[in-house]
Structure 1
Amino acid sequence: MGTNGQPGIGRKGDGEAPKSGNNIRMRSAGFLSERQRRLAWVGFLLAAFQAPAAAQLIDDASWLFAVVVALLVAAVIIADDTQRRRPTAD
């Protein structure tokens, strides 16, 4: 505020420019890098599509392993999303 109650215009008396209220907050990074995140999605999709195909072609229950792998990779992706969406600490 200026001396008469109006906001100050231009530079302050100490030579510093006035601070802008338009600070940009960057999204906090998750524990996966972008490359690891992309590979996790590829692995999830491959395992998710391989399970039903294996169930049709194979008589035993070995296709359940692909379902478990897909669920584990999905849990890692969800945990990374949760960490990325956490608000930044000021």
Structure 2
Amino acid sequence: MQQGSGFLSNRQRKLAWLGFLLAAIQAPVSARFTEDSSWLFSLVVALMVATVIIADDGARRRPADARSSD
């Protein structure tokens, strides 16, 4: 059985991981040094990028011959 390919290319996937890590690291640093709650934006961005990475993982693990309606 052949694995399906995700909707992200390998380069996009690496950039998504980099973006996730940078946003996830920036959020607590920003929370430490700022008085307002602007650090929550970094946390939301990190969660959105993580959702895209997880969806791409799911698409990659699905067999290539499986239909999207299944």
Normalising by structure 2, what TM-score?
Answer: 0.89
Matches within 5 A, 1:50-65: 50-65=26-41
Separation in 2, partners of 1:88, 1:26: 6
> Once superposed, what is the RMSD of the aligned Cα atoms?
1.2
Runs of 4+ in 1 over 3 A off after TM superposition: none
* Aligned pairs, number: 66
Structure ranking higher in helix proportion: 2
Larger Cα Rg: Structure 1 or Structure 2? Answer: 1
Q: Does 1:37 align with 2:13?
A: yes
Query: Mind listing any 5+ residue stretches in structure 2 that lack a counterpart?
Result: none
Normalising by structure 1, what TM-score?
Answer: 0.70
Identity percentage of aligned residues:
62
- Residues 33-59 of structure 1 deviation map (CA, whole Å, 9 limit, x = unaligned): 000000000000000000000000000
Q: Secondary structure at the match of 1:89?
A: coil
